[in-house]
Amino acid sequence: MDTYYSKEQGLTITPPEHMDFRAPLAVLEEIPNQLDNDLRITVDFCSTTHIDSSGIGALLKLQHYLPKTAPRIHFINLNEDVYRIFSTFNMETVFDIEH
């Protein structure tokens, strides 16, 4: 899982191809401790072809631990399969999903 920070765009996280129980998801738990209250987080799914419940759970946990004043996490570049999973579970109410 790669991360990139710029003052203008905030923090960008690029998950691995398979965001599942095999992925190093624990790195997401450390992110809220390192953020400002108004920092924008973007998750770029450009490389991700599969996500399972543990991947979704890690993202929900990240959103939960952000300060209440923080913007919602923004998702970009989802392929159809990953988007369908988020849509099925109505994740548009939790995350800002660009499709």
51-80 tens-digit pLDDT: 999 889 889 988 888 878 888 899 999 999
Question: 46 and 19 in contact (C-beta within 8 Å)?
Answer: no
Taking only Cα atoms into account, the Rg of the chain, rounded to an integer number of angstroms, comes to 12
How confident is the model at residue 32, as a pLDDT? 61
Domain annotation for the chain: domains and CATH numbers: 2-97 (3.30.750.24)
DSSP state for residue 88 in the 8-state scheme:
H
Task: Give the predicted TM-score (pTM) of the model.
Answer: 0.85
Question: 45 and 78 in contact (C-beta within 8 Å)?
Answer: yes
